[in-house]
Each structure stands twice: as structure tokens, then as C-alpha cells.
Structure 1
């Protein structure tokens, strides 16, 4: 049965149940919708989600350099733009539909690899994905993917994984799908999860959804575990920008550090030890700022 037929069936079958909704915890211009110690336990491999709305021209709103291990991070933009400048990846602009993908693996320090673009503010999501044992200590890899390089299917930009035969350029693990969509006012769109991806959620950056998946800007919905489709509909008075995540469940326990998520206590100790080793190397490296103010990801 093809995807089109599934979408037609979805309109007349039972609604996929929403088991939880949240507006997260507000931290000024950042709204934390999910952390590894709360919803991350239910939605793993998705373990962290921030919705940010920042003026990065203001030094007080800029991110500080910080470490990670055991995870991958994905930053997508719903409004505005950011600049990147990296010796390995070149320079360019990330705007709606574009993203930064970084696999922290065994350890990395980052936080200033992108800087303010032309827009006065920038809104978007940062997502963390817990990696499995085969990747949680792998070498760091990062990608900056401009919007024109992100494939689309209807209104959906395929940020991670493959959706309806369209594959993202991100070097992400198998079994994970992540989309960003602008749903036009008054229109509907049905998400059909890829096979075995029973974990699913959505979050709204702007606008409002109505109907079975009603939600407003800043809200996150968690769906029951199943492979059942669900439909989103933007209200008649404006477009809605949303992200949707689905995945095969992560089968490992989460062992948490301050900036790290690993699959065992031993693995966490190894990751955090490597972060400390990199901290010392980073300190010795001195000022690494690029001409535009960016500071490249430190891989050691």
C-alpha cells in the first residue's frame, strides 16, 4: 500500500491519541520543552528540545561555548537566519528549512559556530538525539546544510532520515525522521510514520493548529506509541510552522551528565573524561574566532 493510500485512510480512521502536551519551562528567550530527565525518557532517542527566539546581535543573548558527548544536536530555523563560518565546511547562511547537524560522539565543545545573520531575531529549535553504543564514542562530525540543499515533500523539509522516498543529506543514524513544515492557513497535512517508528511528537514554532492536533505556538504534543498517521491543520487566519519527530524507540537506559547522555554509567565516565581532556586542549588553543566572530566546533 503506498503512502497516498495511507493518507486517504488516515482521514477516516481513529485519531492517534495525544498522551501529553506541554508548554515547557521558560528561560527568558528559550523555552525548554523536553529534557533527558523528563520527556526524554518517553521519547528517546529524542531527549531534549529547546524553542529559542533570540537577538544574537545582542551579546547578552549569545550562547556560551559548552561540551557534549554521547549525543547528536540538530538546530533548525523557523524564522530569521544565522551565519556559519568554518575552516572545514566553508561559510554560508542557514535560514528556514536549513539546519546544523553535529554528532558529538566521544566529546566536543561548541556553542559559537553560528552567529547573527541579517534578520533582527532568529527563532528555531535545538534538538538532541541519544546515540547508540556504536556511535556514542565515535569521532565528531558536523554539517551546515543551507535551505536549498534540504529536500522537500509537499510542505515538509526533510531534516533527518528518509520520508516518502526523500532523503535528508544529514549523516544521521537510521530509524529517525525529523521534519520542519510551514502549513498554509486553512490547509491540512497528514504525517505517515515510516515503518517501526512508533515514537512521535510535534512542536509549534508559530501559528496555531486546530482539530484533533490542536496546539498553539510554543506547545509540544506527544503521541501514543504506534505507527498510526496523524493529521495537522493550520487555522484559517494564518500559517503554522511546526516540527515533527518520529523514531524507532531507543532501547537503552539513559545515563545523564550535565551535557552528556550515554547508554551506561561506564560510557558516561569515559565521555566526561574526554570532555575534560578537550577542555584543557581548548584552553591551550587560545583565541579561535573567525573574522566574522564565529568560533568553530572544537573536536580536539
Structure 2
């Protein structure tokens, strides 16, 4: 892989921005207001399935949280910029994360969990990513872990204060291999939080075989084919490096890359499998109380 410096000088093939997917208001759980970008049937999204953003200063928008509910066939990664969420599941796991922390959950063959806000004031801003699992792993043993803010590595990208927070997976920063604290994610999924200062121009190497996505949560991103504003997701084409440019304002974004899964997807509510028959079995298992057996 060609080495790429964070100041934009590079000898690699640059991935072009190929598509923008607009986010839209939605609701989930017990009426929590969210902003959602979904790509369940989009091959260029894979292995990622969906990004939900919670962002509100009004407790009524999020205080009801996500009471106990099931999942099968996916992994989730929750990352908080502000506010606090607590996870509990049928395995006895329990843990809370706040500003800068993350939680990872492998549903595998089945898990029942809840995610509830731990505070009623001060606002909430965070994200949940759904990551698909390969067919051979969908019925694996469920798992969970939390990542506290101090475990997330924070590295400078330029001399003006632009930085990257490594949450999951493998990265190359300044020509050196780096990794986030979470390496268990499916399909080599890598996730980072980038904060770019106004006018910043950052170039990072990414694996040629991976899908690459950027979700903008603050400011805007200049893709070279137009400026994309907050609340939207940019997908990138082929190449082994990505260039990210902030216009005349600070920009915050989640940068994702992972190995695409060339497998069929069947999705119904909290279940993501490979066929309608497997979805129907998951529903029967949940209704019969055997989802987690």
C-alpha cells in the first residue's frame, strides 16, 4: 500500500466520491427521534447496513430510550459525542458509556438487550452503526464490550488541530500502522471520528478491497464534485487513498471502511439474515422464547 501523508501529498490512487445518500428523520425504540442513513440493499454500503444519529437538546426526544428488544445476524457499534447510554442484555452484561466512549455488540444467533439514556438533561448526541455479519458467522455466540473514552486513541492529522479518533479496526496514519481498541468487528470493519479544521485537506490510505463511507455530522465536506452538508453520507469509488477537505468551516465526520460481503440480505426489523426463511425462523424463535438458546 502506498504511504499517504496527512497533509494531502500522496502517490496513491485517489478514490472519487461516487454517490451521496441523504439521511432522513425517523424514530425507533420507544419513540426516540433519530436521523437515519440506510443501505441494506446497496453493495457499496457493505459490510455496513445503517447509521442512526441521535442529536437533541430536548430530553423528550430520547429519554424513553430503547427498552428490551432482540437482534440476530448483525453487530452494532454505538459511539457517543455527548450524553450517556447504558446497555443491559440477557447475558448479564451491563455498562454505560459517555462522551467519547463506544459500545460493541455481536448479536450472532440472538441477543436481547436494552439501551437507555442515563441522564435526563444536557442533551444527547451519538451514533449507532449496524454492521452485517457473514452468513457463516450469523449464528455464532453473542458478545459485548464497552470502550471507555480513555481507550480511544486520538492522533493529530495536521498542525492546525485536525485530529482522528480511532474507534475500531486498522488504519494507516502518517505512514504508520495504527489501530482502534475494537478489533473484533465483523468484516474487518474500521471506524474513526475525524474532526477537521476549516480549510483542512487530509489524505489517508485505505485498503483497495474495502468499501469506504463518510457520514458528516458537523459542518460539511468538499468532495471535489460539490459540498455535502451535515446529515448525509458519501460513498467512494475505487482506489487506495481518500482525500477529505473541509470547506470554510470545521467539519466532523465518521469515516468507515470494511470488506464487502457479496451475500444476499434479508432484513426484517431487528433481524438481518440471508433469506426470508431465516427471517421467519428468527421471528418464530423470538416468539417461542428460543432466540437466545
User: What is the distance in 1 between the residues matched to 2:20 and 2:208?
Assistant: 24
2:231 paired with 1:218 = yes
Partner of 2:97: 93
Partner of 1:284: none
Q: What is the TM-score normalised by the length of structure 2?
A: 0.80
Partner of 2:197: 184
Aligned residue runs from structure 1 range 215-294, under 5 A: 215-224=228-237, 226-237=238-249, 239-278=250-289
Q: CA deviation at 1:14?
A: 6.8
2:138 paired with 1:136 = yes
Q: Where do 5+ consecutive residues of structure 2 fail to align?
A: 28-32, 157-162
Partner of 1:105: 108
Aligned residue runs from structure 1 range 10-25, under 5 A: 16-25=15-24
Q: Where do 5+ consecutive residues of structure 1 fail to align?
A: 282-298
User: What is the distance in 2 between the residues matched to 1:191 and 1:235?
Assistant: 18
Q: CA deviation at 1:124?
A: 2.2
Q: CA deviation at 1:270?
A: 3.9
Partner of 2:79: 76
Q: CA deviation at 1:259?
A: 1.6
Q: CA deviation at 1:262?
A: 1.2
> Is the Cα–Cα contact under 8 Å of residues 51 and 125 in structure 1 kept in the other structure?
yes
Q: CA deviation at 1:235?
A: 2.8
1:252/1:51 CA distance change after superposition, 3 Å: same
> Is the Cα–Cα contact under 8 Å of residues 69 and 260 in structure 1 kept in the other structure?
yes
Partner of 2:159: none
Q: CA deviation at 1:65?
A: 2.9
Q: What is the TM-score normalised by the length of structure 1?
A: 0.78
Aligned length in residues: 272
Q: CA deviation at 1:133?
A: 2.2
Give deviations 1:169-211, integer Å, cap 9, x for gaps. 32213522211111122222223212521x1111111112235
Write 1 or 2 for the structure with the bigger share of helix.
Answer: 1
> Is the Cα–Cα contact under 8 Å of residues 137 and 271 in structure 1 kept in the other structure?
no
Aligned residue runs from structure 1 range 4-43, under 5 A: 4=4, 8-9=9-10, 16-27=15-26, 29-37=33-41, 39=42, 41-43=43-45
Partner of 2:30: none
Q: CA deviation at 1:242?
A: 0.3
User: What is the distance in 2 between the residues matched to 1:162 and 1:259?
Assistant: 28
User: What is the distance in 2 between the residues matched to 1:277 and 1:166?
Assistant: 45
Q: CA deviation at 1:62?
A: 2.4
User: What is the distance in 1 between the residues matched to 2:199 and 2:5?
Assistant: 22
Partner of 2:160: none
2:180 paired with 1:168 = yes
1:119/1:207 CA distance change after superposition, 3 Å: farther
> Is the Cα–Cα contact under 8 Å of residues 221 and 229 in structure 2 kept in the other structure?
yes
2:165 paired with 1:157 = yes
What SS does the aligned partner of 1:204 have? strand
Write 1 or 2 for the structure with the bigger share of strand.
Answer: 2
User: What is the distance in 1 between the residues matched to 2:223 and 2:87?
Assistant: 42
Q: CA deviation at 1:157?
A: 1.8
